[in-house]
Amino acid sequence: MTMLTDKINTTFNKFFIYLFIYILLFVPNCFAEKKKEIKVGILLGFTGAVESLTPSMADSAELAFNEIKNNELTFKILRSDTACNNMNLAKNATNKLVNDGVSAIIGAACPNITREIANEISIPKEILTITPADNSNELTNLKDNGYVFRTTPSKIRGSQILADITNDRGIKKLAISYSNDEDYKRFAMAYKDALDENNIKISTMLSHNKNTNDYSKHISTLGAAGGDALAIISDTDLGGDQVIKSMLDTGMFNVFILSENMINEKTINNFKEKNLKRSFGYVLGLSNLGSEKFINLAQKSGIDPFSPYTSESYDAAAVIILSNFAKIYSEIKSINDIIYLISNKPGIKIYPGEINKAINFIKEGKLINYEGATGVEFDKFGDTFGSFVEVDLKKGKLKSKKIR
CATH number (domain holding residue 297)? 3.40.50.2300
Q: CA-CA distance, 358 to 318, in Å (whole number)?
A: 10
The answer on 211 and 144 residing in a single domain is no
User: Considering the domain boundaries, does residue 220 fall inside one?
Assistant: yes
The answer on 186 and 79 residing in a single domain is no
User: Considering the domain boundaries, does residue 316 fall inside one?
Assistant: yes
User: Considering the domain boundaries, does residue 356 fall inside one?
Assistant: no
Please name the residues in contact with 194: beta carbons below 8 A apart, sequence gap of 6 or more: 159, 160, 162, 163, 164
Q: Which sign does the torsion angle of CA 67, 149, 55, 93 carry?
A: positive
Residue 182 confidence class, pLDDT cut points 50, 70, 90: confident
> What percent of the chain shows pLDDT beyond 90?
62
User: Considering the domain boundaries, does residue 180 fall inside one?
Assistant: yes
* Predicted local distance difference test score (pLDDT) of residue 276: 63
- Angle made by CA atoms 288, 66, 110, in degrees to the nearest 5: 65
Which of 403, 166, 177 minimizes the C-alpha distance to 281?
A: 166
* Predicted local distance difference test score (pLDDT) of residue 356: 96
The answer on 230 and 174 residing in a single domain is yes
- Does residue 404 have a pLDDT over 90? no
* Predicted local distance difference test score (pLDDT) of residue 256: 93
The answer on 303 and 248 residing in a single domain is no
* Predicted local distance difference test score (pLDDT) of residue 351: 97
Examine the fold and report which residue of 300, 331, 362 is the final residue of a domain before the chain moves on.
Answer: 331
User: Considering the domain boundaries, does residue 159 fall inside one?
Assistant: no
The answer on 193 and 118 residing in a single domain is no
Q: Classify 48 as helix, strand or coil.
A: coil
Answer with the residue of higher pLDDT: 172 or 24.
172
Answer with the residue of higher pLDDT: 249 or 379.
379
Q: CA-CA distance, 275 to 195, in Å (whole number)?
A: 26
The answer on 69 and 122 residing in a single domain is yes
The answer on 148 and 124 residing in a single domain is yes
* Most confident segment among 2-11, 257-266, 288-297: 288-297
Examine the fold and report which residue of 214, 243, 277 is the final residue of a domain before the chain moves on.
Answer: 277
Residue 369 confidence class, pLDDT cut points 50, 70, 90: very high
Residue 19 confidence class, pLDDT cut points 50, 70, 90: very low
* Predicted local distance difference test score (pLDDT) of residue 286: 65
User: Considering the domain boundaries, does residue 8 fall inside one?
Assistant: no
Answer with the residue of higher pLDDT: 2 or 115.
115
**DSSP conformational letter for 301:** T
* Predicted local distance difference test score (pLDDT) of residue 248: 85
The answer on 177 and 111 residing in a single domain is no
Residue 33 confidence class, pLDDT cut points 50, 70, 90: very low
Q: CA-CA distance, 143 to 140, in Å (whole number)?
A: 9
Which of 212, 247, 246 minimizes the C-alpha distance to 230?
A: 247
* Predicted local distance difference test score (pLDDT) of residue 273: 67
* Predicted local distance difference test score (pLDDT) of residue 392: 87
CB 176 within 8 A of CB 188: yes
The answer on 273 and 307 residing in a single domain is no
The answer on 212 and 244 residing in a single domain is yes
Task: Tell me what the mean pLDDT of segment 171-195 comes to.
Answer: 93
CB 146 within 8 A of CB 382: yes
Predicted confidence (pLDDT) per residue in 104-134, tens digit = 999 998 878 999 999 999 999 999 999 999 9
- Does residue 1 have a pLDDT over 60? no
Task: Tell me what the mean pLDDT of segment 332-361 comes to.
Answer: 96
User: Considering the domain boundaries, does residue 87 fall inside one?
Assistant: yes
Answer with the residue of higher pLDDT: 71 or 131.
131
* Most confident segment among 80-94, 203-217, 282-296: 80-94
Range of the domain at 119: 38-153+288-331
Predicted confidence (pLDDT) per residue in 255-268, tens digit = 999 998 888 777 77
Examine the fold and report which residue of 277, 305, 321 is the final residue of a domain before the chain moves on.
Answer: 277
The answer on 148 and 249 residing in a single domain is no
User: Considering the domain boundaries, does residue 399 fall inside one?
Assistant: no
Residue 8 confidence class, pLDDT cut points 50, 70, 90: very low
Prediction pTM value: 0.77
- Does residue 18 have a pLDDT over 70? no
Taking all residues of the chain, what is their mean pLDDT, rounded to a whole number?
Answer: 87
- Does residue 7 have a pLDDT over 90? no
Answer with the residue of higher pLDDT: 236 or 106.
106
Q: How many domains does the chain have?
A: 2
The answer on 183 and 121 residing in a single domain is no
- Does residue 277 have a pLDDT over 70? no
